[in-house]
Each structure stands twice: as C-alpha cells, then as structure tokens.
Amino acid sequence: MQISAAFQQAMDALKAINFKDLERTEELGRALSFKQPVDLIKTIYDDLVQVFENAELLRLPSNQEQQITSLANNLLKTAQRIREFTFQGNEANASNQHKQISSDVESLNQQDLNLLPILIERISLLKLKPSEFQDQIAGAQQSIKEIEKIKNESSKMKEAAERALKDMRDSFGKEGALISVTDFGKQAEEHKSLATKWFWGSVSSIAATAILVILLFIGIFPSLNLAREGTTYPLIIQIVVFKLVLLSIAYLLVYQSLKNYKINKHLYVLNKHRQLTFSVYPFMTNATNNQEQSNAIVVQAAKAIFEPGTTGYLDGDGNPNPINLTEIINRVVDKA
C-alpha cells in the first residue's frame, strides 16, 4: 500500500491531538462533554496507526486506499469540530450540535469496523514468518502428543490409586466394623444384665412399698395410730411426717429402680441395633461398585450408628422428680 501525501498529512495532524484535552469535561461539564465520542475517535485512530505503520505489508486497490485516507481526514475534521464547539452564546443550538457530532463519530466508527479490522488481521498474519510458524505448529503438535501421553498415564495412575484406596478403605472399614461389633455387643450384654437386675429390683421395691403401706395404715403399730387416746396435735404431726418420710423413701426407691431399668433397657436396644448395623455394613458397601452409592450407604450407616435413637423405654414427657417431701411437710405444718 502506498502512503499518499494526504494520508501522511492527516496522520501527522491526528498524532498531535491530545485526546484527553479533547474530551473538554471540565470545561463543558458531564452533560455536554465529548468523552464517549473521543473514546471512539481514539479507537479509530489506533486502528489507523496500525495500518499506517504496516502499510508496506498490504496490497490494496486504490479505492480502498482512498477510503482509508478519507476516514483519517473525516476523523481529523470531527476532532476539529469538537475543539471549536462552544456553549456560551450558542445555547439554543448547542444540544443539537453536540448530538450531531456524536452521531458523526458513531458513523465513522462503523466505517472503521467495516474496513480496518480485516486489514489489521491480515497484517498480523503477514508478520508471521512461514518457517517459524511451521516450526511452532510442529512444536505445538509434539507438545499436544506429550500432554495426551501424560494425561493417559495420569488417568491410569489415578485409577490404580483409587482402587488401592478403595481396597485400603474397605480393609479398614471391615476391621473397624469387627472391633465395633464386639464392643457394642459387650455393651449390649452389660446393659441387658443390668436391666434384668433393675427389673427385679423394681418388682421388689414395689412389693416392699405395698407391704409398707399396708403396715402403716392397718394399725398394726399402735404408736402410729392417729385415733388412739391421748393423741395431741404435735404427736399427730410427728406421725404424719414419719409416714410421709417412709412413703417418700419407698416411692423414691420404686421410681429410681424403674428409671434405671428403662435406661439400661434403652441402652441395650441401642447397642444391639448398632451391633447389627456394623455387622451388615461391610456387606452393604461391597454390594455395589458405584462410589456414590457406596458413600450414600456409609452416610446412612453412620446416621443409624451415631445418631441418638428412640426406643420407647424413655419418656421425656413424664416428670422424673419424686415427691417433694419439704413441700408436703410445709403444707401440713401450715394447716396445723
């Protein structure tokens, strides 16, 4: 491409422009500044510079060279119009003139997009030396082959590592399951034995309480009879308090025996359930080769083992406190 004198002159003039000052933001304010049009002008100028500096690489028809020169001249004229724009004394026409300049800059930008980017891409390709380009392509292809080889080897190593990890995890899981099965089994048997003892303890305490009630209220002990002659109010209070203390102790024994029975029965059922879960856990994890399904089984097994469960032996709604003896005595004294 031959650089004409007109193109050379237009580029020299554009090179001398200070695009920052051309925005005139401080002078005209944001409403009438030319920041956006000047940004487009700077973009078009950069494209023209690339074509101008690499013109010897291009072979263009004369009409295309004229279009490039015309674009440079029109860009210079538009920049001059922006520089000559005034607001004071021109308030009536300033807004329309500003819009017209912005529209003309947009039109020049469209001309630039239709003409220069294609030439810039052609320049980039022509700058590449064919021999060096071929060497780069060959090197890139060799690198791609090496990367594919490394990728395949890494994939094989990953599969082997995953198999080894799965085997190790299965082995550890089985060993841990066997240990846990034994421990939970021992705990279940201990709580079963304690539950049996506390059951018979509860039966014995209930029977003893029944016998105590019968002995206290059938009058077998004359000293505890409230209807005998010579009974005074202080003596009545003493007898009543004594009977209440005995009944409260008996109730406490019954309550605590039943409570311990239910706690140990509850723990027996839980540990038996955990023992069963650990017993079937290895078979369930080995039932599938899908890692996601195996992980889901492990999660559900962990929930069944470690989350506190309900068995029906413990009732959280009941009041676990025995009779408040102090409150009963205070009420009896108040009435007396």
Confidence of residue 318 (pLDDT cuts 50, 70, 90): very low
Task: Measure the N-to-C terminal CA separation of the chain; round to a whole number of Å.
Answer: 126
Structure tokens at 172: 């550890």
Report if residue 233 sits inside a domain.
yes
Q: 1-10: per-residue pLDDT in tens?
A: 778 888 888 8
Q: Could you give the percent of the chain with pLDDT greater than 70?
A: 69
Q: Are residues 236 and 118 in the same domain?
A: no
Residue 244 pLDDT > 60: yes
Tell whether 119 and 226 lie within a shared domain.
no
Going from the C-alpha of 233 to that of each of 92, 226, 246, the distances in angstroms are: 115, 10, 20
The pLDDT, as a whole number, for residue 326 is: 46
Of 97, 127, 157, which residue sits at a domain end? 127
Same domain, residue pair 184 and 289: yes
Residue 336 pLDDT grade (very low, low, confident, very high; cuts 50, 70, 90)? very low
DSSP at 16: T
Residues 308 and 207 in one domain: yes
Per-residue confidence band for 110, with pLDDT thresholds at 50, 70 and 90: very high
How many independent structural domains does the chain possess? 2
**Does residue 161 lie in a domain region?**
no
51's tokens: 């074509």
**Residue 137, pLDDT above cutoff 80:** no
pTM above 0.85, yes or no: no
pLDDT, tens digit, 9 for 90 and up, residues 142-190:
778 778 877 777 777 666 656 654 554 554 455 555 566 777 788 888 8
**Is residue 317 predicted with pLDDT exceeding 50?**
no
Same domain as 202, residue 273: yes
Assigned domain for 138 exists: no
